[in-house]
Structure 1
Amino acid sequence: MAGRIQWKIVTMKIDRRSEDVYEYVMNPENFAEWATSFCRSVRRSEDGEWRLETTEGEMTLRFAERNPYGIMDHYVRKGTGPERLNPARVVPDGTGSKVIFTVFLAEDAADREFAMVFRNVESDLRTLKSVLET
């Protein structure tokens, strides 16, 4: 069936308050520090958009509106193409927090590509954990 989507959830326990994780992740200036499998650098353009230099070329970055629910969704767009949603949440977990990230990929994409994207997200969340716990 064309148009079906594969998805998988990645979670990471981080020994920081969920409010701290939220503030760090929602700051676009920090994106290149933790999303290292994908993002090489980030800058604010003259028109106010956040621009990423990525492994796939230049992209724009936009985050969901700030909210009290831990929703950290972000959207990336290459050129004039469609935005790609990256759903993410942070929730309290004892004295720390848990980051929940959903990886989506069109079902007709190669299984190897899906596995690579999933591994990259896991790697990025391990980097986020390392950055926030040190």
Structure 2
Amino acid sequence: MSHGTGAPPPSRHICRVIACPPQRVYGYAANPEHLPAWAAGLARSEVHREGDVLVADSPMGRVTVRFVPRNDLGVLDHDVTLPSGETVYNPMRVLAHPDGAEVVFTLRQRDMTDAEFDRDTRMVEEDLARLAALLED
């Protein structure tokens, strides 16, 4: 890890402009049934509800996901509880953009090595590219 002792781990804001109205992008991305189609880093197969959380089989194993309530602000923040029991907060926004919508996902390095952080960054970039391809077709 490159960040110094006691310093907060770095964050990356991964952005993708999608040529589609922001309300449509938000509506699609907020629907848990669509997660396996675009969020491969989070859900490899069908997502199902258990109470107020979503359960998914991810590349990391079985995870639970809790999104903030639907809103008119484009906020898609979500907590992912990993198989280890650790919960990771993931800020995500859909913003209006002159060319449609911009999706911004904040990735925090936490206890990852630089190589793991780079790998996770690529995975989020690929997820957002899939989201764009689905909505721009």
CA shift digits 1:54-95 (9 cap, x unpaired)? 111101111111111111111111247232111111111125
Q: Are the counterparts in 2 of residues 42 and 50 from structure 1 also a CA contact under 8 Å?
A: no
Aligned-residue CA RMSD in angstroms? Answer: 1.8
Separation in 2 of the partners of 1:37 and 1:54?
Answer: 7
Task: Select which of 22, 26, 29 maps to 2:30.
Answer: 26
Q: Are the counterparts in 2 of residues 7 and 105 from structure 1 also a CA contact under 8 Å?
A: yes
1:132 aligns with 2:130: no
Structure 1, unpaired ranges of 5+? none
Structure 2, unpaired ranges of 5+? none
Q: Are the counterparts in 1 of residues 14 and 106 from structure 2 also a CA contact under 8 Å?
A: yes
Q: Are the counterparts in 1 of residues 18 and 99 from structure 2 also a CA contact under 8 Å?
A: no
Query: What does residue range 94-133 of structure 1 map to in structure 2 within 5 Å?
Result: 94-106=98-110, 108-133=111-136
Query: What does residue range 41-56 of structure 1 map to in structure 2 within 5 Å?
Result: 41-47=45-51, 49-56=53-60
Q: Are the counterparts in 2 of residues 61 and 77 from structure 1 also a CA contact under 8 Å?
A: yes
Task: Select which of 83, 88, 95 maps to 2:92.
Answer: 88
Separation in 2 of the partners of 1:8 and 1:45?
Answer: 30
- Opposite residue 30 of structure 2, the aligned amino acid is M
- The TM-score with structure 1 as length reference comes to 0.89
**Which structure shows the bigger proportion of residues in strand conformation?**
1
- The TM-score with structure 2 as length reference comes to 0.88
- Give, in angstroms, the shift of residue 43 of structure 1: 2.7
- Give, in angstroms, the shift of residue 46 of structure 1: 5.0
Q: Are the counterparts in 2 of residues 34 and 125 from structure 1 also a CA contact under 8 Å?
A: yes
Q: Any idea what SS the aligned residue of 2:80 has?
A: strand
Identity %: 32
